[in-house]
């Protein structure tokens, strides 16, 4: 189960430009949420494999703020100094 508001807030917070400004649009955040929650299969093993393959390199078509094509989206940010933030 993925809580949409928590997911969107967290993903937006860790995908920032060097000036700490979030670069994902609402449309991109919604697409990411849909991609995470619908992996195209109801079979557990296949769903897990698909999720892991996406997790390693989740990409979008474009960063609309910078014009960068196929930017990688972070879905996990390991905070080793404050593990409670993970």
**In a domain? residue 83:** no
**In a domain? residue 45:** yes
Q: What is the pLDDT of residues 30-39, one digit of tens each?
A: 999 999 899 9
pTM, full prediction: 0.78
Structural domain count, the chain: 1
**In a domain? residue 32:** yes
Look up residue 9 and give its two tokens.
């807030």
Q: Tell me how far apart the alpha carbons of residues 68 and 80 are, in angstroms, rounded to a whole number.
A: 29
Q: What is the pLDDT of residues 37-85, one digit of tens each?
A: 999 999 999 999 988 888 878 888 888 888 889 988 888 766 656 666 5
Structural domain range at position 18: 4-78
């Amino acid at each position: 189960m993925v809580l949409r508001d928590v997911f969107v807030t967290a993903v937006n917070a860790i995908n920032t430009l060097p000036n700490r400004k979030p670069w994902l649009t609402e449309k991109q955040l919604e697409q990411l949420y849909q991609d995470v929650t619908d992996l195209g299969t109801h079979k557990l093993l296949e769903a897990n494999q698909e999720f892991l393959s996406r997790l390693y390199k989740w990409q979008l078509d474009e960063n609309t703020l910078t014009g960068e094509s196929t930017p990688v989206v972070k879905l996990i940010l390991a905070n080793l100094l404050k593990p409670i933030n993970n």
